[in-house]
Each structure stands twice: as structure tokens, then as C-alpha cells.
Amino acid sequence: MKRNTVVVSVVVLVLVTSGTAGFAAGATPTADAAGAQSLDAGAVGGSLADEGDGTIGTSLADGAATTPFQTAGQELPFVRGSPDLSVSTASPTVTPGQTNELALQVTNDGDLDVGMGGDARAIVTTARNVRVEADAEDTPLTVETGTVAIGSVTEDRPGEAPIAVTVPEDVEQGTYEIDVELEYAYTRQQSGGVTYDRSATVTEEVEVEVSDDARFEIVNATTDAQIGGEGMLEAEIENVGADTARDASVVLESSSGGLAFGESASDAARIDELAPGETRTVRYDVGFASGAPVREYALSGSVQFETSEGLQRADEAISAGVTPGPEQRFAVDDVESDLYVGEEGTVTGTVRNDGPNEARNVVVQFAEESENVIPIERSVAVGTLGPGESDEFRLPVEIGGEAKAIDRTADIAVRYRNAEGETRAYQDLELLFDVQPKRDQFLVEVDDREIETGTGTEIDVRITNNLDETVTDVEARLFADDPLDSGDDEGFASALEPGESTTMTFDLEASGSGTAKTYPISFDFRYDDADGNSQLSDTTRVPIDVVEGEGGFPAGIALGVLALVALVAGGVYYAKRR
């Protein structure tokens, strides 16, 4: 018991001599679970020697709460002090006619009354749970932001509280004061294992300046662009401020993927000078995505300018909306084709203007590349089409020789001029057409296809134009291999209309030594097509039957015997003469 009394006496002596607390009569130490000595908070009371701040476990004299704290086995330094908060703003200028964001900076120039610096200083100079609330009751300004919590503010780590301040359009230029209330908690004193926490409220004033610079509004914005097209956007900019703006750069930006300024989301236009109350029109090239909805598209922007004093300023809060016209649309109907693998042909159809506006100088053109579908002409003119009007078009096409005979598609576009003469294009169109298998350009028929060995004959060949166009200067050529041969292997026709036939006659001989069986002869044709281009047809083969001659020796053997008889007779005659 005496040992415990001595410990308490020593603690009391230390606290009294340090001026931090006095113990209530009957206070006794208690032991924690670890066996460490600690004070019973319910039995300990005291006051700050220099302030009479209350007792541990009760309220301070000024109403702030105190909190006892002790860490077993750890001796904490004695330190006393407090935060000293102030508020300022680096950009105090606000603009009339809009809600401005004002960044309030909270700094702390703490006071250390007793104790050493370093970590101990931060214990009592840190403002914790700082809450910022601004008020502009005595001004025409309105603070739109409520309480902002910014956490702890230390001497080397300021805090920032952004607030929104609305400034009326007609407010007088000048300086106004905003009251800023700061609420926070802090540790007033720490001694041994005991800390004294307080809360505090301070009010600061921040001056804001209502600008008398030039300010800008977009009073009207229009565009002649339609959905799926490009056009001009015109924005009327008015200087609603009190100063002349010079060398102004007006930047507009779209946050929608449906509206673009060329290849970018923004663009800038320049105004040399704009006096207060003056309006100027700036123009931008814009485009609206195909399929985008017809609605108002939001535009935001800024104006960088020079004041009359030569200072650089910016108005970052201009905005507007613009509505495009409905998309100019076209449709394609009645698509037909006469296309064959390896040939030229045409794709025909009807293009219709579905409105809403007249389309001038309409042109239908291919919009994609293909190895097997080769446009002979990439575009064809149709003419002017009013809303609801239609007209036919014909696209000449060549189908490659390696193409497949299948149904095919091709993307096409309709290019036209609007009422202002500006070129526009509609690309959401597709042609569906079929390609027929490869065919012979000329049909070849031989009625009498039989020839005897060792004889010659004339064969009549009927040639039919199997194309869908008139051909001219048709030159036919016959080709034969042993045992067949021809001494007259060419034929000619000046012109053949589609489906028209003509008969050409050729000589054909069969060698006497040939074997009786079927042999092929071939024809090809060189001709001029309907466009005057020289073409060479594919080769057409026709079977010819070679047969043995009727009765006697075969013609070849008979000729050999006759030659031998003539030779013997000649020898006898010569011998008799001698």
C-alpha cells in the first residue's frame, strides 16, 4: 500500500509542477490487464494551470470536451498548442451571369505554446475533420455549395474546398466579401499519456471581385447540315461584358459522337474585336453521323481574348445548342443485271429521292473495291430529283474470269448537290445482283460432222451471237490437228445482233492414214463489241467423226497401187524403146 502511495505522490508532484492537472482527493492508480500502472479516468480531475480548462473526463471551461488517453508502457512528450487556420483564394475573379467555381484554400499557421518541435508539434497544431461552409448573405452573390469536408489540415499540407458562386447578370462590378466558417477538432495539450481534445469554430472573410472584363454569350446557333451530312454551323457571339475584347479566339466543342468539327471534336474561329453589346457571327464546318437522332446537340466552349489593357483573359463558360436537319435519304429499287463470269455487262436499277429536300445533279457510284467485280465506269449521272422522284441508272461492270457464279452485293453511294450547290453524299445503299456462269460468246453448230478417211469436204458451220449486244467484224478461225486439216480455215460476218445466226463454210480434209474415230476441231472469234472494243472469244470445240471409206481399198492404199502400176508401166515402155 505504501509503495502505491509513493507512486501516486510522484505522479501528482510531476503534474502539479508542470502546471497541467491536479488530482482529486482519493484518486488511486489502477492496473490494466498487462500490469501497467494507469490512472482511473473516473477518479481523476484537473485543470490546465494557465487556463482552468476543466478536468479530465468532464467538459472544459469553455464547453469543449476533453478526452483522456494513455498508451501503456509509452511515455509521450508534454506539448501544448493549437492550429491557426485562414482562408484565401488564388483566383478571386467571378463572372456575372453564371455560376462560378471558386477554389478556397485553407492554410494552417499553427501555434506551439509549450514543447519541442518535430512530430510533437504536429500533435497539437493539426486541425482534424475540417468542415468549410461559405455564406454570401450580405451580397448579391449566392453560394450554391453546402458544407464541404476536407479532412485534416496541417502546417505543411493545406486543404482546398471548391465552392460554387452564382453571380447575377446585372450585378455591379466591384469587390464583395464572402464569409467562410471553419469547424474543426484539435488536440490542445498532451502530457504523459493524457491528451486534451477540443473543437473550434472560426470565421474568415474572402474577397471576390466581380469582373468588368468582356463576357460572351452565344445568342443563336444554327446549321444547314443534315444528319448523315456535312454543312456550316453559324454561331452569333455577343459581348455582354463591360470591356472591349480584342483578338478573340472562340472555341466550340461537342461532347457527342454524333456531331463533329471535321475530323475533330472542336474547332476555333477568330474575331478581331468585339465591343460591349456588339454581336458577331462565327462559322464552323460540321458534320453529323449517319443514323444519329434529330435533336438538339449541346455545344460548350470558351473565348480567349485580350482586354483593353492588353491582359490575357478567358471566358470558359459559353454554351449553346444546335439542331440538324433530318437525313437526306435515297432508296434503290428494281435492280437487275446481265452479268456473266468473264464478261462485261450492266447493273440497272431505279434510284429514288426519299427527301426531305431536292437533290441536284444526282450521281450513282460504286463505293467499294472488288477483285472480281470491276466497274467499267465508277459512276453514272441521273440528274435532279425532287422529294419522291426517281429515275433509272445503268452501271457497266466487268466480271472477272475467276469469279464465282453467285449472288453478289456492292456498296454504292449517291452523290448530289444541295440547294446551296454544296456537294453531299448518301452512302447507306447496297446493290444485290446475280452473276451467271461462264458462257460461250458464240454458239457453233455443224450439221454434217462425218468425214471419210482420205477425203476432203466442205462443212457448213452455223454461228450464233450468244451475247446481249450487237457485235461487228466477226472473224472466225478453224483449228484442226492431225489427221484433220483445213486449207480454208477462216470465215467472216460483218455484224451479228444478239441471237442472230450466220452460216460460214470451211474446207476440211481427213488423212488416209488416220484412224477412224472422233476428233475435235476448234473455233475462236475476234470481234468488236458494242463499244467498239476488239475482243477475242473463248475457244469452242466441235467433234468430227472420221470414218472408213465405203468399199475397195482405202483411198490411201488405192492411190499407192496406182502409183506403183504407173511406175512399172513406165519401166516396160522404156525397155522396149531401147
Q: What is the pLDDT of residue 59?
A: 33
- Domain 330-436, CATH number (from 2.60.120.10, 2.60.40.10, 3.40.30.10, 1.20.210.10): 2.60.40.10
More confident residue, 9 or 511: 511
Cα(324)–Cα(122) distance, rounded to whole angstroms? 61
CA angle, residues 18, 20, 22, in degrees to nearest 5: 105
**Position 217 confidence tier, pLDDT thresholds 50, 70, 90:** very high
Does the pLDDT value for residue 152 go beyond 60?
yes
Peptide bond between residue 375 and the one before it cis (omega within 30 degrees of 0) = no
Does the pLDDT value for residue 561 go beyond 70?
no
Does the pLDDT value for residue 335 go beyond 90?
yes
Q: What is the pLDDT of residue 58?
A: 31
- The domain made up of 82-210 has a fold known as Immunoglobulin-like (2.60.40)
What's the grid cell of residue 20?
497541467
**DSSP secondary structure of 504-519:** EEEEEEE-TT--SSEE
**Position 102 confidence tier, pLDDT thresholds 50, 70, 90:** very high
Average pLDDT of the chain, as a whole number: 83
CATH number of 216-322: 2.60.40.10
Q: What is the pLDDT of residue 578?
A: 54
Domain range list for the chain? 2-74, 82-210, 216-322, 330-436, 442-547, 553-578
8 Å CB contact between 446 and 461: yes
Q: What is the pLDDT of residue 563?
A: 60
Q: Which amino acid makes up residue 240? A: V
Alpha-carbon dihedral angle through residues 108, 113, 116, 120, given to the nearest 10 degrees: -50
Average pLDDT, integer, range 343-353: 92
Q: Which amino acid makes up residue 441? A: Q
Q: How many CB atoms lie within 10 A of CB 174?
A: 9
Q: What is the pLDDT of residue 68?
A: 47
Q: Which residues, including other chains, have CB under 8 Å from residue 97's CB and lie 6 or more apart?
A: 167, 168, 169, 215, 217, 240
Q: Which CATH architecture has domain 442-547?
A: Sandwich (2.60)
**Position 504 confidence tier, pLDDT thresholds 50, 70, 90:** very high
Is residue 202 classed exposed, middle or buried when 0-12, 13-18 and 19+ CB atoms within 10 A define those classes?
middle
Q: Taking Cα atoms as reference points, which of 508, 527, 424, 524 lies closest to residue 469?
A: 527
Peptide bond between residue 356 and the one before it cis (omega within 30 degrees of 0) = yes
Does the pLDDT value for residue 64 go beyond 80?
no
- pLDDT tens for 166-181 read 999 888 889 999 999 9
**pTM exceeding 0.85:** no
Q: Can you say whether the dihedral through the CA atoms of 271, 273, 275, 276 is positive or negative?
A: positive
Does the pLDDT value for residue 60 go beyond 50?
no
Does the pLDDT value for residue 474 go beyond 80?
yes
Cα(412)–Cα(394) distance, rounded to whole angstroms? 13
Residues across the chain: 578
- pLDDT tens for 408-433 read 999 999 999 988 888 888 888 999 99
More confident residue, 42 or 89: 89
Q: What is the pLDDT of residue 559?
A: 53
Q: What is the pLDDT of residue 52?
A: 37
| Proportion of the chain in helix, strand, coil states, percent, rounded to 5 | 10, 55, 35
Alpha helices in 116-246 (DSSP H): 119-125
What's the grid cell of residue 482?
492431225
